[in-house]
């Protein structure tokens, strides 16, 4: 009687190991069959070494979400992409995802789906290094750079995809829009203090200058509240009753992430706090809800941020 549960556990463990091993061997063997030889390629240096990639890749798979959006902006539609499954697929990209295979969470994308997609190039992030060998068995794989600014990420990708001139034009257009925004604000940008906070189911937080949204605000010459001038991605991990004043400003942008219902409940709870009504941005009616594009760092999202600044600053402060 005592041995029966143990024997059952042992059999289950052996079966699980056998299935996992078979799956791994299956991926390796199928990858060997499906992987197409590259007659002409160019060498790309990356954190895992050197990879020879197609001169003009046609079937690109992206793992980091920003790479998917940047590839779209560069004129290449990936055949498959991973994303952050803790929240819905980004709203600003939903009309661009038709025909694209979703690979599941970017932390552990489906290798089987990648294999079936038959890519000729896989663009992975630094956190994919553990699966680099498997990915490389399927198709040429490049690990993208870590700790890059959003501009550097776009430039790196444009070079890898052979679209450097297109990348340069995208950046030039962004800076032209930044200058137009400055002109539309008629020199008042240094006098406008912009706060950026985020709402996730369960809590709220604030962004620093290292976040993409923080970079956009800095590019336009707009100011930040004292606490949000710190050199970090996040500067306030949890907004409490006592720290509400730290997210105040002339204007307060609230990002809603992780599902609108959960974020809405957090906002409703914050709005009930006595100190909420004392915030200058609340009293002046300058609290605006914006989407997850304020959290990401691709060129499409950055342009959407500039759109919001035109909408909520130029059109309401004039």
Q: What is the DSSP string of 131-196?
A: GHHHHHHHS-EEEPPSS--HHHHHHHHHHHTT-HHHHHHHHHHHHHHHHHHHHHTTT-GGG-BEEE
Tell me the angle at which helices 299-309 and 164-184 cross, rounded to the nearest 10 degrees.
10
SS (HEC) of 101-144: EEEEECCCCCHHHHHHHCCCEEEECHHHHHHHHHHHHHCCEEEC
Q: What is the pLDDT of residue 13?
A: 43
CA distance 99 to 290: 27
CA distance 234 to 246: 13
As beta bridge partners, residue 81 has: 62, 102
Beta pairing class for 49-54 and 287-290: unpaired
Q: Of the candidates 252, 254, 225, 257, which has an alpha carbon nearest to the alpha carbon of residue 313?
A: 252
Q: What is the pLDDT of residue 316?
A: 73
Q: What is the pLDDT of residue 230?
A: 78
Q: How far is CA 96 from CA 105, 155, 289, in A?
A: 18, 21, 23
Q: What is the pLDDT of residue 305?
A: 97
Mind listing the domains of the chain with CATH numbers? 34-162 (3.40.50.1980), 186-317 (3.40.50.1980)
- DSSP letter, residue 314: I
Per-residue pLDDT of the chain (318 residues; tens, 9 = 90+): 433 343 344 433 443 344 344 445 555 554 454 455 556 899 999 999 999 999 999 999 999 999 999 999 999 999 999 998 888 888 899 999 999 999 999 989 999 999 999 999 999 998 888 899 999 999 999 999 988 999 999 999 999 999 999 999 999 999 999 999 999 999 999 999 999 998 877 778 999 999 999 999 999 999 999 989 878 898 888 888 788 999 999 999 998 876 656 667 777 888 888 899 999 999 999 999 898 899 999 999 999 999 999 999 997 765
| pTM assigned to the model | 0.86
CA distance 187 to 19: 65
């Amino acid at each position: 009687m005592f041995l029966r549960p143990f024997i059952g556990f042992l059999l289950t463990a052996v079966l699980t190991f056998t299935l996992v091993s078979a799956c791994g061997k299956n991926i390796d063997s199928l990858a060997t069959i499906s992987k197409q030889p590259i007659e002409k390629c160019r060498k790309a240096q990356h954190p895992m070494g050197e990879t020879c990639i197609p001169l003009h890749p046609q079937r690109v798979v992206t793992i980091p979400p920003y790479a998917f959006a940047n590839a779209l902006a560069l004129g290449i539609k990936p055949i498959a992409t991973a994303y952050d499954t803790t929240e819905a697929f980004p709203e600003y990209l939903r009309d661009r995802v038709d025909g694209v295979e979703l690979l599941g969470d970017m932390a552990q994308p489906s290798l089987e789906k990648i294999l079936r997609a038959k890519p000729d190039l896989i663009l992975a992030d630094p956190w994919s290094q553990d699966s680099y060998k498997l990915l490389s068995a399927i198709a040429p794989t490049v690990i993208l750079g870590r700790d890059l600014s959003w501009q550097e990420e776009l430039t790196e990708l444009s070079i890898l995809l052979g679209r450097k001139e297109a990348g340069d034009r995208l950046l030039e257009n962004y800076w032209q829009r930044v200058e137009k925004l400055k002109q539309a604000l008629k020199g008042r940008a240094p006098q406008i203090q912009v706060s950026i906070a985020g709402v996730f189911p369960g809590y709220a937080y604030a962004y620093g200058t290292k976040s993409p949204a923080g970079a956009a605000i800095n590019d336009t010459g707009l100011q930040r509240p004292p606490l949000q001038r710190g050199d970090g991605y996040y500067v306030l991990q949890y907004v409490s009753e006592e720290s509400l004043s730290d997210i105040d400003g002339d204007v307060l942008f609230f990002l809603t992430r992780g599902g609108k219902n959960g974020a809405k409940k957090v906002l409703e709870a914050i709005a009930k706090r006595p100190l909420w009504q004392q915030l200058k941005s609340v009293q002046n009616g300058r609290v605006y809800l914006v989407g997850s594009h304020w959290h990401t760092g691709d060129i499409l999202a950055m342009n959407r941020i500039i759109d919001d600044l035109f909408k909520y600053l130029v059109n309401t402060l004039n």
